[in-house]
């Protein structure tokens, strides 16, 4: 508690401690790097899903912040003993839940540089490199995805790195809303309707609500197994026509490339053909699957993107880039800026007045913004496009292998055909294990699949999550953690089999 003797109000300097001193920083940072290496070397020893009980940490830490300083060694000890057990280890090679949150050495190093410079790049002048590198990297990735030229800065559009998809959608909904209300009058905000499928991520509905779109004006167009849970143009048209007949105003459509539950892909071209008849803004949410589309063999999933208004995907999911980052491209930055720009006196500066620069504050909700492009730049340069494609193909290849395992075992069923690196399967309602002829039916299969998942996750050996598609409870296995190799996928399958055998045994 050596800090007490530094309490000399307003007489200058605490002599014992400075918030930053380069050599002390170097020593401590090296210490933390070694801590992190140890964490990664041991990561397979931790239960993937945290096994703590609610409230566990409240019992282990004091009620209030310490008055005096504590040594870094003590703090790292507490991270090891108190924090690590409370983590669900997204970086474990045995993590197959949700969608991946995959990191890389290059992404981490980019984050370190971003943190070290710690520049809020809200205007060009507040750090020209931050804005221009973001412009450049967004054009680079846009080209890798073969986005239409109009989405690139070099083609009159442009891209911005947001934090998450919800932010990206909120910005585009607000841009579309304000553009539409200018035409039809502000008082008609209650008439605006937004459209997506019933498989669309909850982020879209949430973003729409935040933007003041009425909850009952969110249309979830129904999907079915017959169309592999993708939205049909006919379904969309029917919904729109009913709304127009009711005096409402179609505003916005958000098709998904790679839905959360089953990685379904909505057909962009045909959906746009419908939406454009009604002057709607179309935003493509490719949060997870967008990454794969840098591979020529997956690019066809983006066919029709040239007809849309905006497109986003999350490098922090499956592009080896640490959180947070969501790349958003728009054809018409003007619409975005009209809705989101502010121009207070205290931010005025020559470059902005001359309108010869991008001021990213006018492309997003927040003012402050981190230098996120650094990490993407490091990722792209450190690995190169060809390796990035191969990293992704490797995950897809492993997912294909897991899918084969499932298809070969009659106790299970692949519920929706695999598009990318995510498998969606369940305990089969008809075929069971070889020495039984018992038939569970859909309800029975749902219950058994849920029970199996909980049993698998409780083991701590692997972590998977669930979804319900078309009334069917499924286990999702999303391959994409950076460290996952063939042996982990094999282990995951072994664990599923073993727990299924045990569970089915107790049923006989």
Residues 477-506 that bind its own copies (CB under 8 A): 482-483, 485-486
Give whichever of 71 and 434 is closer to its own copies, judged by the CB atom.
71
Among residues 94, 104, 335, 432, which is the contact residue for its own copies, using CB under 8 A? 104
Half-sphere exposure of 224 (CA within 13 A, CB side): 4
Distance, in Å, from the CA atom of 277 to the CA atom of 271, rounded to the nearest integer, reads: 10
Min dist. Cβ of residue 506 to its own copies (A): 21
458 binds its own copies (CB under 8 A): no
Among residues 46, 140, 151, 252, which is the contact residue for its own copies, using CB under 8 A? 140
Give whichever of 254 and 322 is closer to its own copies, judged by the CB atom.
322
What are the φ and ψ backbone dihedral angles of 206, each rounded to 5 degrees? -65, -45
- Binding map of its own copies across residues 190-209, x = CB under 8 A, - = no contact: x----------xxx-xxx-x
Nearest alpha carbon to residue 285 among 306, 307, 305: 305
Nearest alpha carbon to residue 238 among 262, 214, 219: 219
Min dist. Cβ of residue 180 to its own copies (A): 12
- Binding map of its own copies across residues 325-364, x = CB under 8 A, - = no contact: --------------xx-xxxxxxx--x----xx-------
- Binding map of its own copies across residues 57-76, x = CB under 8 A, - = no contact: xx--x-xxxxxxxx-x--x-
Q: Helix 486-507 vs helix 373-408: angle between axes, to the nearest 10 degrees?
A: 40
Give whichever of 274 and 285 is closer to its own copies, judged by the CB atom.
285
Distance, in Å, from the CA atom of 260 to the CA atom of 120, rounded to the nearest integer, reads: 32
Give whichever of 307 and 394 is closer to its own copies, judged by the CB atom.
394
Site residues (CB under 8 A) for its own copies, limited to 216-275: 260-261
Min dist. Cβ of residue 39 to its own copies (A): 6
Min dist. Cβ of residue 435 to its own copies (A): 33
Q: For residue 183, what are the CA distances in angstroms to 180, 192, 231?
A: 5, 12, 29
Contact call for residues 347 and 111 (beta carbons, < 8 A): no
Distance of CA 402 to the CA centre of its chain: 23
Q: Residue 408: exposed, middle, or buried by beta-carbon count in 10 A (0-12, 13-18, 19+)?
A: exposed
Give whichever of 382 and 490 is closer to its own copies, judged by the CB atom.
382
451 binds its own copies (CB under 8 A): no
| Tokens read off for 6 | 């530094």
Stretch that binds its own copies, among 77-85, 265-273, 408-416, 430-438 (CB under 8 A): 77-85
Site residues (CB under 8 A) for its own copies, limited to 152-171: 163-167, 170
DSSP string, 263-282: --B--HHHHHHHHHHTT-EE
Give whichever of 385 and 414 is closer to its own copies, judged by the CB atom.
385
Nearest alpha carbon to residue 387 among 105, 96, 46, 9: 105
Stretch that binds its own copies, among 139-147, 299-307, 440-448, 499-507 (CB under 8 A): 139-147
């Amino acid at each position: 508690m050596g800090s007490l003797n530094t309490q000399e109000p307003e007489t200058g300097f605490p002599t014992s401690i400075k918030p930053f001193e380069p050599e002390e920083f170097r020593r401590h940072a090296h210490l933390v790097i070694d801590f992190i290496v140890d964490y990664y070397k041991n990561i397979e020893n931790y239960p993937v899903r945290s096994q703590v009980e609610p409230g566990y940490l409240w019992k282990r830490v004091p009620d209030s912040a310490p008055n005096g300083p504590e040594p870094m060694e003590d703090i790292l000890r507490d991270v090891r003993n108190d924090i690590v057990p409370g983590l669900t280890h997204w970086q474990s090679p045995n993590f197959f839940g949700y969608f991946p949150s995959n990191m890389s050495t290059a992404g981490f190093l980019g984050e370190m540089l971003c943190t070290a410079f710690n520049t809020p790049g809200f205007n060009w002048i507040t750090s020209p490199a931050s804005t221009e590198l973001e412009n450049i990297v967004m054009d680079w990735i846009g080209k890798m995805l073969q986005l239409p030229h109009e989405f690139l800065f070099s083609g009159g559009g442009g891209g911005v790195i947001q934090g998450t998809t919800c932010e990206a959608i909120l910005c585009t909904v607000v841009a579309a809303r304000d553009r539409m209300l200018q035409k039809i009058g502000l008082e008609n905000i209650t008439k605006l309707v937004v459209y997506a499928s019933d498989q669309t991520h909850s982020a879209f509905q949430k973003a729409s609500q935040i933007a003041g779109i009425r909850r009952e004006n969110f249309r979830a167009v129904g999907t079915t197994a017959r169309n592999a849970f993708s939205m049909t143009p006919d379904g969309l048209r029917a919904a729109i026509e009913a709304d127009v007949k009711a005096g409402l105003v179609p505003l916005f459509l958000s098709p998904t490339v790679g839905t959360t539950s089953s990685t379904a892909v909505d057909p962009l071209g045909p959906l746009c053909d419908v939406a454009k008849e009604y002057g709607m803004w179309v935003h493509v949410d490719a949060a997870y699957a967008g990454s794969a589309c840098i591979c020529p063999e997956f690019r066809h999933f983006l066919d029709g993107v040239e007809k849309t208004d905006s497109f986003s995907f999350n490098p922090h999911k499956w592009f080896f880039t640490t959180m947070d980052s969501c790349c958003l491209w728009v054809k018409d930055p003007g619409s975005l800026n009209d809705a989101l720009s502010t121009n207070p006196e205290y931010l005025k500066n020559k470059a902005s007045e001359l309108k010869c620069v991008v001021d990213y504050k006018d492309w997003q909700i927040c003012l402050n913004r981190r230098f996120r492009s650094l990490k993407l730049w490091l990722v792209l340069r450190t690995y190169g496009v060809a390796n990035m494609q191969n990293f992704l193909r490797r995950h897809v290849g492993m997912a294909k292998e897991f899918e084969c395992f499932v298809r070969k075992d009659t106790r299970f069923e692949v519920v929706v055909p695999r598009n990318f690196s995510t498998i969606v399967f369940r305990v089969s309602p008809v075929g069971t294990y070889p020495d039984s002829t018992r038939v569970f039916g859909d309800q029975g299969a749902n219950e058994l699949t849920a029970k199996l998942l909980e049993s698998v996750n409780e083991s701590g050996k692997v972590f998977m999550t669930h979804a319900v598609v078309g009334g069917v409870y499924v286990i999702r296995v999303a391959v994409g953690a950076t460290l996952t190799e063939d042996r982990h996928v094999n282990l995951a399958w072994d664990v599923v089999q073993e727990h299924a055998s045990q569970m089915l045994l107790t049923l006989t």
